[in-house]
Chains A and B, each alone.
Chain A
Amino acid sequence: MPSSTSSSNDRIPLTGAIYSLIIGLALSLVMIGILELRMRQVGISPDVHDTKELWAYERARASALGDRALILVGDSRIQLDVDLAALAAETGLQPVQLAIDGSHYMPVLEDLANDPEVTGTILVGAETWKLLQRKERDRADEWVSFYHNSFRGLWAPAVEAKLKGWVQSWSALYASGIPWQRLWPLLLNNNGSIQQSYLSMRPSRQRDADYQLVKQPDFYIGRVLRNLGSNVDFSRIHTMNDFAGEVRKKLQESPASVGTDPAQFKYANALINRILDHQGKIVLVRMPTSGLIWEIDESKAPRTIDWDRLAASTRARTIHFKDYATMQFQLPDGSHMDIRDKTAFTVALAKLLMNTSMM
Chain B
Amino acid sequence: MLLVWFSTIVDYTVARRLGKMQDQTARRSLLLVSLVINLGLLGYFKYAEFLLGLFAEAVSVFGIVYQAPRLGIILPIGISFYTFQTISYTIDVYRRCMPATLDFWDFALFVTFFPQLVAGPIVRAEHFLPQCQTPRAATSASFSWGLSLMIFGLFAKIVLADNILAPVVDQVYANPDLYAWVDASIAALAFSGQIFFDFAGYSLCAIGAALCLGFSLPDNFRSPYAALGVSDFWRRWHISLSSWLRDYLYLPLGGSRAGGIRTSFNLLLTMFIGGVWHGAAMTFIVWGWLHGLLLVIEHGLRKRFKSWSPTPLMHAGLVILTFLVVTLAWIPFRAQGFDNLAAMIHALARANSSAVLAGYSRILVLLVISATLAWHWFTRHSTLEDRIGALPPLARGSLVAALLVAVVITSNGDSRAFIYFQF
Contacts and interface: CB of A to CB of B under 8 A. Distances in A.
A24 B385 contact: no
Given A11-B385, A31-B405, A20 B412 contact: no
Contact of A23 (B239, B398, B410): B398
Contacts of A31: 401, 405
A184 to B, nearest CB: 9
Interface string A175-209: 11111110100000000000000000000000000
| Interface size grouping (class) on chain B | 35 or more
| Interface size grouping (class) on chain A | 35 or more
Contacts of A212: none
B124 A4 contact: yes
Contacts of A232: none
A13 interface: yes
A162 B130 CA distance: 40
Contacts of B399: 24
By secondary structure, the B interface counts as: helix
Contact of B401 (A25, A179, A180, A181): A25
Interface string B387-405: 0110111101111111011
B393 A1 contact: no
Contact of B131 (A6, A13, A178): A6
B302 to A, nearest CB: 24
Contact of B413 (A10, A25, A179): A179
B199 interface: no
A1 B216 CA distance: 10
A20 B144 contact: yes
B337 interface: no
Nearest to A23: B397
Contact of A12 (B151, B210, B385, B392): B385
A8 B215 contact: yes
B211 interface: yes
Contacts of B409: 35, 173, 180, 183
B96 interface: no
B13 to A, nearest CB: 24
B131 A24 contact: no
Q: Give the interface centre of A2, A9, A24 by most chain B CB atoms within 10 Å.
A: A24
B397 A19 contact: yes
Contact of B140 (A8, A18, A24, A26): A18
Nearest to B383: A1
Q: Give the interface centre of B142, B239, B405 by most chain A CB atoms within 10 Å.
A: B405
A6 B216 contact: yes
B393 A23 contact: yes
Interface in A6-47: 6-28, 31-32, 35
A174 interface: yes
Contact of A24 (B219, B222, B400): B400
Given A35-B405, A174-B408, A183-B409, A11 B145 contact: yes
B103 interface: no
B216 A23 contact: no
A5 interface: yes
A28 B400 contact: yes
Interface of A: 1-2, 4-28, 31-32, 35, 173-181, 183
Given A8-B215, A13-B145, A23-B394, 11 more contacts: A4-B124, A8-B136, A17-B141, A24-B151, A24-B396, A24-B401, A26-B401, A27-B400, A174-B408, A174-B412, A177-B412
